[in-house]
Chains A and B, each alone.
Chain A
Amino acid sequence: MTTLIALVGAALVSATPLLYATLGELVTERTGILNLGIEGTMYAGAFAGFLVAASTGSPWLGLLGAVVVGLLSGLLMGLLTVTFGVNQHVAGIGTTLLLIGLSEFVNRLKYGGGAVPQIAKFGLLFRDVPVAEQYLLTYIGFLVLAPVMWWVLRGSGFGLRVRAVGENPEAADAAGISVTRTRYAALLVGGALTAIGGAVLTLAILGSFTLNITAGRGWVSIALVIFARWRVWPAVFGALLFAGVDALQLQLAISSTFESVPRELLIALPYLVVVATLAISGRGVRYPGAYLRPYRRA
């Protein structure tokens, strides 16, 4: 029982960065833009959050710094893919490489290859209450962000424009919706959320920064968006499922009962579960109509 409670608590923590990044990517992809800059944006968000918090002593200002960097990365992706109409794969991977390289470069300039400081980080709420003992950003992510995102995409004018642009930009344009403005807006919102996802790692979970801090969480989020078929609640479920199975394998790996199970199999378990779920439920995935297509007026 205690293990189960620990499992749920751990799943919520490690699902939090995935949740922000996945929802950020989701809203972007709904306008037809695949943002492969996500891993770099998370990385830069984690680093910017850390750097600002380290120099100001405030995790809140750190969070603000991460948001600014996320907006800038969204702007860059917008410039490349919306204004210039560059291939989205190339632009995204280029953005990821640029942002990771830039973060490591600034890290080198600032700390000269030596140890980085510990920062004042966000504390846990409800200390020593099982499961409820979580970071504020976890509460905001699951209880505020997810429902708001669901409502925005479903019921708001902005959500309608996002979906129209992503499905049929020509028709949206003819109906007086600015494709450019909608895509930029989604990239900015998505970039900011993704950067917050990265900042969760430094400002809440670790209170510090190391190289490779995101360790592929951005790419996991890309997969989760497809897993969720571009819908909000399945994305929340996917993030929890992945994080939950990962938490489970960490428990199994150290229990004497499962000693004979190969370690590699346990480590692969979360990926296997997501792939299996995708294979069973993910048949006939329908991509947004304008996926990967730059828009130009004929």
Chain B
Amino acid sequence: MGRIRPFRVVAIAFAATLALAACGGNTGQPSQPAGSATGSQGGEALKVYGAYATPIEEPWDGVIHTALQAAEKDGEITYDYVDNIGYSGGMERTLRDIAQNEKPDVIFGDAFGNEAAVRAVAKDFPDVAFVFGSGEPEQAPNLSVFDNWIHDPAYLAGMLSGGVTKSNVLGVVGGYPVPEVNRIVNAYVAGAQSVNPQVQVKVTFLNSWFDPTKAKQAALAQVSQGADVLFAERAGVIEAAKEKGLVSIGSMADQKDQAPESVMTSILWDMRPTVEAVLDQVRNDKFEAANLKDYSFMKNGGSSLAPINTDVKGGIPQDLVTKVQEMEKKILSGEFTTPVDENTPKGSNELSS
């Protein structure tokens, strides 16, 4: 045996610990004891788990998390979650662990990038309701799917943008050209062109969900090509609008506070109607696999346009606000159906002449 080098042993152990510590997922805080939950329904609070591939700071999973937190606050459920599970095998392990050892009534989460794992585990635990964000169909008997169908408010935001632009050029910065992003962007373009046939919409995709610096840079490139209204499908864009003194549209949360002089409105997604529908089904033993997308529609309260902020730089004409609000009523009443187009939008969109 060679000379023992205590320092080296310590150092290697230390490095290994670092690597392990950094790889572990974050486990959520334990939920409040079930006893404190006195549901309005009078029944026992349902046991719900969240299983998220990304950290809950990511807006998409954050919306699910927020809705479940609200349901817990109202005493309907007890809620616990695991986030930052990732895309390399962790999802299947985590779901099996939760289903087997915690025996929850419902597991919510997102299956994008983990489709096979979620479907396999759902099959093995038919008594647990699985409700996952997915672009694929539901899986009988116990996997329901949902998605962020927020094209309605996107259309309205497009109308607002098309109405205020002076240069007739709008800019949109999105993550990836995938169907759920495409239909938001296409609805925005359609809304803008419905009030302003001359309008041209520049669309950039970052090929990343998270690169705000690049998003800002992409938005500034659009500004240099004439854009004077920016739709921030991704974080970072509002900062560009702020710096250039332009108006913008927020996304996923009401982002008015970030730049009250710039953010005209935001398109919002609310998972609470979807959550309520599932809880109702489970409480009444009527849960079955379904596509829950309709619960994200505006007419069902699943998406909305944040209050229009007319205090932005340059203001918003009252007749435009009225026009948008009238269309909002038409969508809510079912009189108008926002067109759904999931094709990848071009970099530069004009009405074909």
Interface residues of A (CB under 8 A from B): 2-3, 6, 10, 13-14, 17, 79-80, 83-86, 90-91, 93-95, 97-98, 100-102, 104-105, 107-108, 111, 113-115, 118, 124, 201, 205-208, 210-213, 215, 246-247, 250-251, 253-256, 258-259, 263-264, 267
Q: Inside 8 A of B258's CB, which chain A residues have their CB?
A: 118, 208
Looking at B86-94, B112-120, B213-221, B291-299, the stretch in contact with chain A turns out to be: B213-221
Evaluate whether A104 and B236 lie within 8 angstroms (CB atoms) in the complex, with A80-B14, A113-B65, A205-B213 already known: no
A101 near B22: Cβ-Cβ < 8 Å: yes
Q: Min CB distance, B55 to chain A, in Å?
A: 6
Q: Min CB distance, A111 to chain B, in Å?
A: 8
Q: Min CB distance, A201 to chain B, in Å?
A: 5
Q: Contact flags (1/0) for B196-224 with A, using CB distance below 8 Å?
A: 00000011110110111110111011101
- Selected from B14, B21, B205, B348, the residue in CB contact (under 8 A) with A263 is B205
Q: Min CB distance, A135 to chain B, in Å?
A: 11
Q: Inside 8 A of A85's CB, which chain B residues have their CB?
A: 7-8, 11
A289 and B18 alpha carbons, distance in the complex (Å): 29
A97 near B22: Cβ-Cβ < 8 Å: yes
Q: Inside 8 A of B257's CB, which chain A residues have their CB?
A: 118
A10 and B218 alpha carbons, distance in the complex (Å): 10
Q: Min CB distance, B17 to chain A, in Å?
A: 9
Q: Inside 8 A of B208's CB, which chain A residues have their CB?
A: 215
Query: B26: CB under 8 A from chain A?
Result: yes
A2 and B19 alpha carbons, distance in the complex (Å): 48
Q: Min CB distance, A92 to chain B, in Å?
A: 10
Query: B270: CB under 8 A from chain A?
Result: no
Q: Inside 8 A of A263's CB, which chain B residues have their CB?
A: 177, 205, 207, 347
Q: Inside 8 A of A205's CB, which chain B residues have their CB?
A: 213, 216, 239
Q: Contact flags (1/0) for B29-40 with A, using CB distance below 8 Å?
A: 000000000000
Q: Inside 8 A of B56's CB, which chain A residues have their CB?
A: 113
Tell me the nearest residue of chain B to A124, going by C-beta. Answer: B243
Interface residues of B (CB under 8 A from A): 7-8, 10-12, 14-16, 18-19, 21-24, 26, 54-58, 62, 65, 84, 171, 177, 202-205, 207-208, 210-214, 216-218, 220-222, 224-225, 235-236, 239, 243, 253, 257-259, 346-348, 350
Evaluate whether A250 and B204 lie within 8 angstroms (CB atoms) in the complex, with A10-B221, A118-B258 already known: yes
Evaluate whether A254 and B203 lie within 8 angstroms (CB atoms) in the complex, with A6-B220, A6-B224, A14-B217 already known: yes
Q: Inside 8 A of A17's CB, which chain B residues have their CB?
A: 213
B11 near A211: Cβ-Cβ < 8 Å: no
B221 near A251: Cβ-Cβ < 8 Å: yes
Evaluate whether A201 and B23 lie within 8 angstroms (CB atoms) in the complex, with A10-B221, A84-B10 already known: no
Q: Inside 8 A of B19's CB, which chain A residues have their CB?
A: 90, 93-94, 97-98
B348 near A210: Cβ-Cβ < 8 Å: no
Q: Inside 8 A of B213's CB, which chain A residues have their CB?
A: 14, 17, 201, 205-206, 213, 215
B11 near A254: Cβ-Cβ < 8 Å: no
A108 and B348 alpha carbons, distance in the complex (Å): 39
- Selected from A10, A80, A104, A251, the residue in CB contact (under 8 A) with B55 is A104
Max count, chain A CB within 10 A of own CB: residue among B177, B208, B224, B258: B224
